[in-house]
Chains A and B, each alone.
Chain A
């Protein structure tokens, strides 16, 4: 076998192996998207009920709470960025990071200091590489976040917002995550989580045509709000984590699908080249044999004379 042909054959073998791997990864990601989507759906009743309850307190009393009060001058904001632990997900992480950077830039233009909190090793690596400061980071659960993980993430953020700004606290909290729109579309977006504007939440519910009754609070409206708001923040973060996970799996699936397709194309091209090389080799051998016999015939013809 010619050297050229051997090289092609070897490359075809290696690309075939890669294709098998990416195909498997694609199928794993596809099954995980479904699972993650189911989790998003399962968390919906809790989120809806919680929103209703928050609205009820918000409209039923004039309670003021650090989580709902807007600071007059915002000097420091926190940005929570949700990325994934593992790559191989196309532009998933870079889109989220880009969105976070745009948001940071905008906030800084408005004269605010920005503390960055990151979930996921990819985001942490990006910031560490550029030697930017990270206030706090978490990783290890981005593929399948649980409610306990959301609580872990929310705790320091709620604490930061409850601390006075002068003592290192923050005035607002933004979250950057990837919304799962559909299997094909995921969108990195930012949203302001805190201070929570009760009017906005109320509007959200009001558009559904629900009129809330006057509630009796047990033990008191303040205490209920005290307990309710952190849970609300946690549930929002939980929802964002779940959506990010679903988006990440969808992005992985898509990236792996195109990798598989590309490998297929590559194998086709390489096989064509290998075939051509084999043909060339055969042609050369034939012409060598023909040439050889001709020379031999010439030589014998000459000696006969």
Chain B
């Protein structure tokens, strides 16, 4: 049996990505976690960070996720996030500008968001 799991990456206002995958790596509050097909049912809190999805076609999807949850059961994985962006949707220049602005405004959470965006964008 081909080991696959169904992934749905869902933001509060839209479904960002969904499809079949072989491995999903996400960052929870207690560290990075990798989920492969057949993993034990899991429910975790996500940190802001990049999520890497290895699709069954062999491609890689990277998304920036800000706050949210990972839940896995019955070979179905859902990534819930308030804000989620695929790496190719991210405008690097805008994110850099946002990072600088956040630095000058001393806004830690906005800075973190911009950093995660950049990380995800450069990882593609």
Contact = CB atoms under 8 A, between A and B. Distances in A.
Interface of A: 39, 42-43, 45-46, 49-50, 52-53, 56-57, 146-147, 150-151, 212-219, 223-224, 227-228, 231, 234-235, 238
B12 A46 contact: yes
Interface in B10-41: 10-15, 28-30, 33, 40-41
B73 A213 contact: yes
Nearest to A145: B13
B66 to A, nearest CB: 11
B45 interface: yes
Given A45-B10, A46-B10, A53-B80, A218 B41 contact: no
B29 A53 contact: no
B45 A219 contact: yes
Interface in B40-99: 40-45, 68-71, 73-74, 78, 80, 82-83
Nearest to A235: B12
A219 B40 contact: no
Contact of B29 (A213, A214, A223, A234): A223
B41 A53 contact: no
15 contacts: A39-B13, A43-B14, A45-B8, A45-B15, A46-B12, A49-B80, A52-B71, A213-B41, A213-B73, A214-B41, A215-B41, A215-B71, A215-B73, A231-B80, A234-B12
Contacts of B11: 46
Contacts, number: 89
A150 B30 CA distance: 28
B77 to A, nearest CB: 11
Contacts of A150: 12
A263 B73 CA distance: 59
Given A215-B41, A218-B45, A228-B69, A49 B8 contact: yes
Contact of A218 (B12, B13, B14, B44): B44
A43 B82 CA distance: 11
A215 B44 CA distance: 10
A166 B18 CA distance: 47
Contacts of A42: 13-15
**Max chain B C-beta neighbours (<10 A), residue from A43, A49, A228, A238:** A49
A218 B42 contact: yes
A229 B112 CA distance: 23
